[in-house]
Amino acid sequence: MLYHCLAMDKHQLQKELEKSRAELWMFYEIGNLMRTTLKLEEILYIILTCVTSHEGLGFNRAMLFLVNERKKTLEGKVGIGPDTAEEAEKIWKRIEAEKTTLKDLISIYKAFIKRKGSRLDKVVKSIKVPLRESGGILALTVLEGMTFEITTDEVSKKVKDPICALLKTEHFVTVPLKAKDKTIGIILVDNIFTKEPITKDDIRILTMFANQAGLAIENSHLYEKTVSLSHSDSLTNLINHGRFQYLLSRDLKHAAKLKKPASLLMIDIDNFKNFNDILGHPAGDMVLINIAKILKKACRSTDIVARYGGEEFIVALFDTNKESAWGLAERLRQAVEKFDFPGQEIQPDKNLTISLGLASFPEDAKNKAQLISKADSALYQAKAAGKNRTHIYSAAIEQR
């Protein structure tokens, strides 16, 4: 009898050991995959693919939400999973027949983006939940920093959360994504098609995975913040000269391919040296900051607004002809002219103003260097003609 019990214990121990080895190997593989990129969108896709893959955690569907600290909301970012039971069956059969690995599934990220996700992905991206108790289970997962298990009919009936109806789910689990003792988002999983119960063991593994995923997301945030800082002017927060040159090259190629016009505004602050010499550089810095805000506010989100250097700014306008660009240039000039800059009364005209030069592609220039040169030439003419004005490039200007 004792021998039989010892044999049973040994057999059970062996099973537990094999299970632990499989879990460790899975986490090792997932960790390697999450280290292949620092781009946030790719990281989120990898995380949810690991949650739903048969080689990963194997849930039917997974949805990921991240905290927007500025807006105090929880926002849907990615949803991965079939839209119907029929589609699920087809996908799982194909995966089994083709012996598709987790690495294979992650490699199709570009295809996922190209077809703009799935129906589930679109629904998830439409969700924005306020971070307060009235925000329901998703918000509570963040606020409490703990897992919520809605895994039985009894509990499901007590939950009256509109998100459940939107996601068409009754039995699910939400786990917090944590980094440095702070909840930065959540993962929601369910087995909507197979109806397999979500066990305590499933939740334990999912929680362990969420901790790993939270750190990967935090690293991605830090990377993207570093990249953003390297592309920005530290004073005005506009795009800097180097980044502008890259974006202009890229977008002019795009404009040429689509046979679309583009326009460029070169902008200079009038008599800025006088302002700096009398009031000092801190006052001059405030002028640069305020003008950057005026330019950014007046331009479209698709326009590229940059600090070109010193007191010069530059604005690239795509799918914009010369006439439309002229209209914007004049609005910018008038907005600066009307702005009440502290200390502007020391300027020659008792006002702080800007001059602008305008050139267009492909009408005036065939490439980036020519376009910048033509806009700069037009700006020079605006300054020479008396300042506080917009000049449009023409060949006649350079022949004088």
> Residue 204 is part of which domain span?
17-230
Q: What does the chain come to in residues?
A: 400
Mean pLDDT for the stretch of residues 20-24: 68
Q: How far apart are CA 115 and CA 20, in angstroms?
A: 38
Task: Compute the CA torsion angle 395, 396, 397, 399 (nearest 10 deg).
Answer: 100
Instruction: Judge whether 63 and 191 are in contact, CB under 8 Å.
Output: no
Residue 57's pLDDT is what? 86
Whether 201 and 269 share a structural domain: no
Instruction: Measure CA 213 to chain center.
Output: 18
Residue 122 contacts by C-beta under 8 Å, 6 or more apart in sequence? 79, 116
Does residue 354 surpass a pLDDT of 90?
Answer: yes
pLDDT band at 53 (very low <50, low <70, confident <90, very high): confident
Q: How far apart are CA 241 and CA 152, in angstroms?
A: 58
Whether 201 and 75 share a structural domain: yes
3-state percent breakdown (helix, strand, coil) of the chain, nearest 5: 55, 20, 25
Whether 291 and 344 share a structural domain: yes
Q: How far apart are CA 294 and CA 103, in angstroms?
A: 48
Instruction: Measure CA 278 to chain center.
Output: 42
Whether 207 and 261 share a structural domain: no
Residue 291's pLDDT is what? 96
What is this structure's pTM? Answer: 0.67
Instruction: Judge whether 332 and 356 are in contact, CB under 8 Å.
Output: yes
Whether 94 and 28 share a structural domain: yes
Residue 22's pLDDT is what? 65
- Could you give the percent of the chain with pLDDT greater than 90? 60
Taking residue 121's Cβ as centre, other Cβ atoms within 10 Å add up to: 22
Nearest to 188 by CA among 134, 150, 239: 150
Specify the higher pLDDT residue, 359 or 6. 359
355 located within any domain: yes
62 located within any domain: yes
Q: How far apart are CA 394 and CA 98, in angstroms?
A: 63
- In one letter, which amino acid is 51? V
Whether 246 and 140 share a structural domain: no
Whether 22 and 95 share a structural domain: yes
Taking residue 198's Cβ as centre, other Cβ atoms within 10 Å add up to: 18
| Torsions phi, psi for 261 (to 5 deg) | -80, 160
Whether 306 and 213 share a structural domain: no
Mean pLDDT for the stretch of residues 367-392: 95
Residue 115's pLDDT is what? 59
Of 202, 230, 258, the residue that ends a domain is 230
Q: Which CA distances in Å does 32 have to 107, 110, 207?
A: 14, 19, 18
Whether 283 and 144 share a structural domain: no
pLDDT band at 86 (very low <50, low <70, confident <90, very high): confident
**b or e along 234-267 (b: 16 or more beta carbons within 10 Å of the residue's beta carbon)?**
eebebbbeebbbeebeebbeebeeeeebbbbbbb
3 located within any domain: no
Does residue 221 surpass a pLDDT of 90?
Answer: no
Instruction: Judge whether 46 and 103 are in contact, CB under 8 Å.
Output: no
* CATH number of 164's domain: 3.30.450.40
8 located within any domain: no
Domain count, the chain: 2
Does residue 360 surpass a pLDDT of 80?
Answer: yes
Whether 126 and 58 share a structural domain: yes
End-to-end CA distance of the chain: 110
Strands 182-190 and 61-68: antiparallel
Element (H, E) at 323: helix 322-338
Tell me if residue 69 is catalytic: no
Residue 23's pLDDT is what? 65
Whether 225 and 254 share a structural domain: no
Instruction: Measure CA 374 to chain center.
Output: 34
277 located within any domain: yes
| Torsions phi, psi for 169 (to 5 deg) | -125, 145
Residue 202 contacts by C-beta under 8 Å, 6 or more apart in sequence? 57, 59, 173
Whether 222 and 247 share a structural domain: no
Nearest to 333 by CA among 291, 361, 372, 368: 291
Give SS3 for 261: coil
Among 311, 312, 323, 337, the active-site one is: 311
Residue 38's pLDDT is what? 76
206 located within any domain: yes
- Could you give the percent of the chain with pLDDT greater than 70? 91
